[in-house]
Structure 1
């Protein structure tokens, strides 16, 4: 009798622990159900629509973010650089390339909760399309790090993981047909502080 009770409890513990762990992993990973990937950038185009999958709805509920509808825009998240390495706050990066057509876009460095990285200074770790300097071919080069750089500079400080969140507002790429020929900027690691 005691043996059956212990086996039942063990089975329940494995089922609840395994189920909870798999749900946590599915909600935490950026390569989930309904995700599209362009280079190192990942987006969930259906996240703010009624057609969103249950995992996307759970991700929005857990993180407490305001999901954009298909007509409003699309957010891309990068957790790795072009070399496949995790993005770290103690490293410096260059984000370079063209940006798709949009009325407005924002780029910010995010922490684990996808909130803006706190820098301890009045300057936020964020840029937007109206304030960047562009190259003659309309591309953008952005330096990311703790030391000021000429041109476009995105401040990050501290240590640990970070993400880049690139959001396009009022853009044709938010429709399913607009994603096929989109290219997004590359994230190149320049160096890291020891």
Structure 2
């Protein structure tokens, strides 16, 4: 009798533990149901609509963010560089290339909760399209790191994992027809602090 009770409790503990872990994993994964991937950038175009999948709705509710509707814009998140390595705060990166048509876009380095990394200097912790120095072909090169760099520079600080969040506002790529020929900037690792 006691053996059956212990086996039942052990089975319940394993089932609840594995079920909780699978939900945690699904809510923290950048790939999943409804995701689109362009290079190293991932977005959930239906997150702000009624057609959003349950995991996207749960992620928005947990993080307390205001999701953009399809007509408002689209946010892309990158957790790896072009070589497939995870992004780290102690490394420097170059984000280069063209950007899709949008009225306005922003870029910032984020922590695990996708909030802006606190560097103590908020004006250098996020960039926006109106302040960019552009090349003659309209492409943009952004240096990312904890030391100032000439041109466009995004400040990071600390150590550990990081993400890049690139949000386009009032853009045709937010609709499903606008995603067919979109290219996003490349993320190249320039080096890491020892």
Interval containing the TM-score (normalised by the shorter chain): over 0.9
**Which digits, 9 at most, give the CA deviation of each residue in 1:120-158, with x for residues without a partner?**
235341000000100000000000011111110001111
Structure 2 segments unaligned to the other structure (5+ residues): none
Q: How does 1:1-194 map to 2 (within 5 A)?
A: 1-194=1-194
8 A Cα contact 1:118 1:124, kept in partner: no
User: Cα distance, 1:180 vs. partner?
Assistant: 1.0
Contact residue 116 and residue 124 of structure 1 kept, 8 A: no
Q: 1:122 to 1:166 in 2, by over 3 A?
A: closer
Deviation, 1:94, is 0.2
1:21 CA displacement: 0.3
TM-score (norm 1): 0.98
2:146 and 2:156 in contact (8 A); partners too: yes
C-alpha distance after superposition, 1:87-112 (max 9, x if no partner): 00000000000000000000000001
